[in-house]
Amino acid sequence: MVIQTLEKLHRIDLLVNCAAVNLPYRAVTDVSLDDWNWIIGVNLTGIFLCCKGVVPHMKQQHFGKIINFSSIGGLSGAPGRAPYRATKAAIINFSECLAAEVKEFGIDVNTICPCVVETDMLRETKQTVAIPNVPMPPEEMAAVAVFLASNEGRGITGTTINVFGQGNPLFYLPKK
């Protein structure tokens, strides 16, 4: 991916890591090692490999922006969600570590934590988990990424931005 991008564009200014997989609700004792490794591979190792591939080039050009998507799930635990939420928490910490390592090279690294976004994964998750939040359209998440990637987002680095919209847990109302 990195080699093909450099051959075509001659530089890499932006990397957005926005891929994730999840399992249906499953207790830790019922998660197979294969499922655990699959989720870690896609959600965390994929980000690591992409960052590892582009950072040397961004260092050479003394500029770059890396945006990693995590989740509200990376901020707290929940039953039946251990593999997914563990990877999302790790993305936040990984991004902070990477930001500290590359800041001197003019590379900004940030994390976006969406709440509930209208995606295929959300539709699949709703089949097994009650989700009370009002989903956001994907365009709202994209707008935050575009801001971080723009000149207006310069200087923001090592930060996690929570983008919860109407699904913000602060807005949950008690049942009557």
Catalytic residues: 84
**Structural Rg of the chain based on CA atoms:** 17
Task: Give the list of residues 6+ apart from residue 81 with CB closer than 8 angstroms, or none.
Answer: 22, 25, 73
The backbone torsions φ and ψ at residue 76, rounded to the nearest 5 degrees and listed phi first, read: -160, 160
Residues 6+ apart with CB under 8 A from 28: 82
Q: What SS3 state is found at 81?
A: coil
Please state, in angstroms and rounded to a whole number, the distance separating the CA atoms of residues 68 and 47. 7
Residue 112 structure tokens: 């976006």
CB 75 within 8 A of CB 33: no
Q: Which residues contact 118 (CB under 8 A, 6 or more apart)?
A: 135, 136, 137, 138
